[in-house]
Chains A and B, each alone.
Chain A
């Protein structure tokens, strides 16, 4: 493999056999600013003859009719989270039908799908292009069991790759919690309701053949909300169940009680407040994780107290954000992915709660994605380094155990990108000299906030000054690192096989930001 150093000093391949050539990462907005108009993928689609029903006799019949062949690319969405039974069901059927060497290109792989590793070992899957890999799939890739290099993409980056044809989906199998006989599909009703079907929208637009898979065939037409219109769907397959509803729609995410997470959240909130960015018309994104959601609680109180109405909330949407919309704290909510069951009702009830596709959400190469007008984003991290680079992909053992998600997209787009993390976990410090894997380059991160102090990127002198003025516990990042290492010690670097790249991390613009290496047993 021919490797070159990118602008943050990471070695990345210039070509991946069977995938294509890549440029090394050269700065967060370099490629966007330099690009002339781009070639776009135009899916070649066979028209469907007029009919009153696209319901296929079964999954196998639908696959046969789709024209899927060995070596082709199949896609799925991950909106059903850990309750998803569609991916295993389709993969098993494909294996039974004798398929081999497929490229598996879901929007992400739910944590529970260890079975994907088996389908790799059995020869059904030859390539994986995904946002994340955890559990057995992560271990399998990190051990170097796959011949082909895995490509990790952000949500915005995947939308871009599909639109420009780097990911050419042959058949998209799209789980549809509500669907009618002509394929109009939605995620916000039915026993397997999951809220937004955002990620599936891009797949439906660009796949050569689209199969909607449902356990809830409704009378025509599906109403009142349609995520994927019938003209994008070739066939409808009815199955007994899309999965386990209790794991698809988890209960409303609650604000953490963990005092440490709350301290991290409080520090993050105080930094946001000090920055002065929480003004009328502000926009905001948080994850559903412990400290992130707790930041939303502080921000909500602040906006209520000061009578501030924001412009929009974005992202993976939790019930908490939906509640903020109902309280009038935002004019609108853009929802590419719903985090909990509380969201489902809001989306059908409230027209200001809008479902969006991932290109609209975060594709850097279109004519304007939402992350580019975000004010504040709160992001998590596995670890960070003194250059503010963030790793959300590999654990302290170097093994894949995370997802790129919208991390690098929102960090690049938001005016204030804050990474929240405890200063150490399980005795291992969070701040390293050099993270194992860069997903989000430090130049797009404004601050790293821990319970022991706030580290501000030196390029943000204005933010540093505002934080000092507000008496916040600001620390130089090297100083925080030393403070924590005084009682954790300095961890040994992970031993990896630098000769074997098992996965690459593609930046949102299509350049390569880092390589992930094989880890010995």
Chain B
């Protein structure tokens, strides 16, 4: 299990930033060939990104590449340049329905074959950023086995809906719930959109808390300073972790004594609660919280 709480955006035409991708503690980075890159820079960004993927040592940091959408003239060239270099995933923007994914899947399989890679080597993170895309979330998530995550694109979605993004983000409640539900149903990950105001870490923290509670796997960051804030939001409450430890200990004790029913802090505890407690403890260990089961 690998932590995937934060995904740091880096423009594909910014070598000075790509070379420092590993230092900010992000769980993943996403090199962008799409919106962060001006039209005149598309080729340069693609070449630069490919050169980094070929020769730069990112260590064990997962590198995802966001390519340009299928309706742009850069789509094929992006896939041709990036897929053979086996990034952690290709992020496919503007997915409206399952066909958008299956078309990309077919192209990628062709490229993989020519490059001598097994078909399906490079996963797709499918980005949903329109009302239609959100409504087709489950179909997109299950379009092919290559899809390993759904991601919500908040910027384009507000444009498509003709609304403004608010600080507390309630207008995304449905879209977020839908994306998480579809991803969980398909057994894949769900990543949330960026918080654009990097001068407002408090707003980011509150939003990140919300998406953690909704069940997202991680959230995108557009500035290195956001990484730590996102990680903080993912950290389970230490009181909850302590309680989970008490539950797991009590369950183990009950099992040893052959009792089926357990009471912790005066409340009855059953199977799902014990499973959730175990999950919380594993998350706490995973995110580097002190203690865990050893405490």
| Chain A residues within CB distance 8 Å of chain B | 259-260, 262-263, 451-452, 471, 486-487
Contact A451–B56 (Cβ < 8 Å): no
Interface residue range, chain B: 10 to 19
Chain A's closest residue to B25 (CB) is A263
Measured between alpha carbons, how far is A269 from B20 in the docked complex, in Å? 20
- With A259-B224, A263-B224 as known contacts, state yes or no: A487 contacts B19, CB within 8 Å: yes
- 5 additional A-B residue pairs with CB within 8 Å, beyond A260-B23, A451-B23: A259-B20, A263-B24, A263-B224, A487-B56, A487-B57
In the assembled complex, the CB of A281 is this many whole angstroms from the nearest CB of chain B, namely 29
Measured between alpha carbons, how far is A486 from B288 in the docked complex, in Å? 29
Interface of A is mostly: helix
Contacts of A263 in B (CB 8 A): 23-24, 224
Interface of B is mostly: loop
Contact B57–A486 (Cβ < 8 Å): yes
- With A486-B57, A487-B56 as known contacts, state yes or no: A452 contacts B23, CB within 8 Å: yes
In the assembled complex, the CB of A362 is this many whole angstroms from the nearest CB of chain B, namely 34
Per-residue 0/1 for B222-246: is the Cβ within 8 Å of any A Cβ (1 yes, 0 no)? 0111000000000000000000000
Chain B's closest residue to A267 (CB) is B23
In the assembled complex, the CB of B168 is this many whole angstroms from the nearest CB of chain A, namely 26
Chain B's closest residue to A453 (CB) is B23
Q: Which of A260, A471, A486 has the most CB of B within 10 A?
A: A260
Chain A's closest residue to B224 (CB) is A259
Contacts of A259 in B (CB 8 A): 20, 24, 223-225
In the assembled complex, the CB of A471 is this many whole angstroms from the nearest CB of chain B, namely 8
Measured between alpha carbons, how far is A259 from B22 in the docked complex, in Å? 12
Contacts of B223 in A (CB 8 A): 259
Instruction: Indicate which residue in B20, B56, B57 contacts A260 across the interface (CB closer than 8 Å).
Output: B20
Chain B's closest residue to A260 (CB) is B20
Contact B19–A262 (Cβ < 8 Å): no
Contacts of B24 in A (CB 8 A): 259, 263
Q: List 21 A-B contacts (CB under 8 A).
A: A259-B20, A259-B24, A259-B223, A259-B224, A259-B225, A260-B20, A260-B23, A262-B224, A262-B225, A263-B23, A263-B24, A263-B224, A451-B20, A451-B23, A452-B22, A452-B23, A471-B288, A486-B57, A487-B19, A487-B56, A487-B57
Measured between alpha carbons, how far is A255 from B194 in the docked complex, in Å? 24
Chain B's closest residue to A483 (CB) is B57
Measured between alpha carbons, how far is A259 from B20 in the docked complex, in Å? 10
Contacts of B288 in A (CB 8 A): 471
Chain A's closest residue to B20 (CB) is A260
Contacts of B23 in A (CB 8 A): 260, 263, 451-452
Contacts of A487 in B (CB 8 A): 19, 56-57
